Structure 1
Amino acid sequence: MPITLLKSLELHSDKLWSIDSAKGLMATASSDRKIKLVNLRATDIREVEELDDSTHKKSVRSVAFRPHSSILAAGSFDSTISVWGQDENEDTQGTFQETELLAIIEGHENEVKSVAWSHAGEFLASCSRDKSVWIWEADEMGEEYECLSVLQEHSQDVKHVAWHPSMNLLASSSYDDTIRLWREDSDDWECVTVLNGHEGTVWCSAFETSESQLRLVSCSDDATVRVWKYVEEGDDGEDIWTLEAVLPRIHSRAVYSVSWSPGGFIASVGSDGLLVVYKETELGTWEVVAEKEEAHGVFEINTVKWANVNNKELLLTGGDDGNANVWSFDP
């Protein structure tokens, strides 16, 4: 199952931290304080816009598109979140233009490490070096935000937040080596599970897109990729989860990012420069089906995302070289 490089875009002058895609558009975030937009539908896969780099005073660490829209949130090391709106009228090339700043969200006391939208776009989650996770309620236009809850149960820096694709279930990954799962309870949010097992910082997690079962993949400084499975609701109201699998140990150093495709494949990247794709051969048993060494040359890879463009599954990666690489994957 080959991974083929379709395009390497030299977008940033410093580390590329985060990638997201929607409607054939890719957004990237970097230490150079810039956010770039790329048209994945164009035959030449080209950059189409650079957002105002004076908006954030420090690195932009995370970008996330709001589901079913072209609204983009970006979290920065300057402790703020910016929200951007793009013209919904596409030209013949499928390019969104005239991006405008809709809002600046303040509240965190330290670097914002990750932002993520809930499946319906109603909630925006953010996490920070200040050890907290914030839940924001957004209006339809993406211009007004109300903080609904500040979650402070992690004991260290929170690295990443991820929503389930069809329910209001949030996962947060932390420097404290744990993953916490959060659900809405009346007018507040509560932690329903703590996943323990990683022996180092948990950098990222991603839910399976299938609705037939509830599973989560995570990755860590301990060089492992793990799959967790929901079992049942406990007597105390908390959810019971179990470690279903530790994927084949291919990475030799920290794994920074994982992504679970609608087709059932898991991709991982990390500080060893590997891009790895795994397939489940039977329930709970996984094998490596594709591996690309030095996917960004000698540089570490910080982020990986699956994207469906023109009915094809693509892999998007970003690294310390400042490049965004677009890969085809032939299952």
Structure 2
Amino acid sequence: MTHTLQSFETGHTDMVHDIQLDYSGRRLATCSSDRTIKIFDVSGDQQMLVGDLQGHSGPVWQVAWAHAKYGSVLASCSFDNTVIVWQELEDGRWTKVYQTPPSLHTASVNSICWAPYELGLILACASSDGTVSVMEGHPDGTWDTRKIYAYINDVWALEHKLIEHSDWVLDVAWAPNMGLPKNTIASAGQDGKVLVWKERDKAGWDKVLVKDFQAPVWRLSWSITGNILAVSDASNNVSLWKESPTGKWQQVTQ
């Protein structure tokens, strides 16, 4: 049996920036400029508030659920330059299990994304300071943090910097490669540009401008096959884009 989730009042006192369902679709997390995160049980016909998480000192931009394999674990990122990892306890209470140190990022952390669960409890975090950090949680409850690196010979080393945006980078999204040997990344910025980066056979990346939206672009999402890119911009528009045989990106029309 299926049910339709209707609109409801979140209780936030400022703009809501992100909403995310957990792996099972039974919990909904929201975050807001009011500096809080709220957790709702949406498994029934009514929505019930089960968590009101307070720990950030600035607007909270995004939330991300870890895979159910790790229990009820939620990450959040904020204008206060930090990322917090929250976990639900057996009695239903939520607790902060980790917060990045103040020295890790020197500007707003705008986007977060969990790695495939098979790789472990690993979270990538993108910041306005121009860096991306990687966090890893361990079974003993400890966490490691480091900048973005390529894992080569058991050592993390900086691999590439993709430089093109003239303002904050607000989101990045890896395309599913469906077994192909090359990687594809989309990036979106405060400058209104959406770019697609493709890894070359040899060292380096090629970039293509999908479109200059003339407004900040907040979120990107690839289709499961990696051939369609969804774009959400600050003009309250959501559009779909597909690469043509000539390599240009065209909007998908209904």
Whether these two folds match at TM > 0.5 is yes
In the alignment, what sits opposite 2:127?
A: 174
Aligned ranges 1:72-151 → 2 under 5 Å: 72-87=28-43, 99-120=47-68, 122=71, 123-138=73-88, 144-151=93-100
1:152-192 C-alpha deviation (Å, 9 max, x unpaired): 24353441332212221123333444433222245433334
State TM-score, norm by structure 1: 0.58
Greater Cα shift, 314-323 or 101-110? 101-110
Q: Say which structure is richer in strand.
A: 1
1:246-304 C-alpha deviation (Å, 9 max, x unpaired): 44x5545443221002124211122333322232232543323x53323x4x3221221
- Is 1:259–1:268's contact at 8 Å kept on the other side of the alignment? yes
Match of 2:204 among 285, 301, 311: 285
Which stretches in structure 1 are left out of the alignment for 5+ residues?
A: 1-36, 38-47, 89-96, 196-227, 234-239
In the alignment, what sits opposite 2:141?
A: 188
CA shift, 1:129, in A, is: 3.3
- Is 1:119–1:164's contact at 8 Å kept on the other side of the alignment? no
Q: Distance in 2 between matches of 1:155 and 1:250?
A: 21
In the alignment, what sits opposite 1:262?
A: 176
Any idea what SS the aligned residue of 1:244 has? coil
CA shift, 1:321, in A, is: 0.8
Which stretches in structure 2 are left out of the alignment for 5+ residues?
A: 178-182, 246-254
Aligned ranges 1:250-329 → 2 under 5 Å: 251-263=165-177, 264-282=183-201, 284-288=203-207, 291-294=209-212, 296=213, 298-308=214-224, 313-329=227-243
Indicate how the Cα distance of structure 1 residues 71 and 251 shifts in structure 2: closer, same or farther if over 3 A, else same: same
Any idea what SS the aligned residue of 2:191 has? coil
Give me the CA root mean square deviation: 3.3
- Is 1:158–1:172's contact at 8 Å kept on the other side of the alignment? no
Give the AA of the match of 1:293.
K
1:181-225 C-alpha deviation (Å, 9 max, x unpaired): 222245433334234xxxxxxxxxxxxxxxxxxxxxxxxxxxxxx
Give the AA of the match of 1:137.
Q
Give the AA of the match of 1:165.
P
Q: Distance in 1 between matches of 2:170 and 2:128?
A: 12
Aligned ranges 1:57-68 → 2 under 5 Å: 57-68=13-24
Any idea what SS the aligned residue of 1:188 has? coil
- Is 2:128–2:169's contact at 8 Å kept on the other side of the alignment? no
Give the AA of the match of 2:96.
C
Which protein has greater RCO, CA pairs closer than 8 Å, 6+ apart? 1
Structure 1 residue 164 and structure 2 residue 115: aligned? yes
Q: Distance in 2 between matches of 1:98 and 1:329?
A: 41
Aligned-pair identity (%): 26
Alignment: residue pair count: 231
State TM-score, norm by structure 2: 0.73
Q: Distance in 1 between matches of 2:167 and 2:100?
A: 30
Indicate how the Cα distance of structure 1 residues 107 and 329 shifts in structure 2: closer, same or farther if over 3 A, else same: same
Aligned ranges 1:179-258 → 2 under 5 Å: 179-185=132-138, 187-195=140-148, 228-233=149-154, 240-247=155-162, 251-258=165-172
Q: Distance in 2 between matches of 1:133 and 1:254?
A: 17
- Is 1:118–1:165's contact at 8 Å kept on the other side of the alignment? no
Give the AA of the match of 2:59.
E
Q: Distance in 2 between matches of 1:176 and 1:316?
A: 26
Indicate how the Cα distance of structure 1 residues 86 and 313 shifts in structure 2: closer, same or farther if over 3 A, else same: farther
- Is 1:315–1:329's contact at 8 Å kept on the other side of the alignment? no
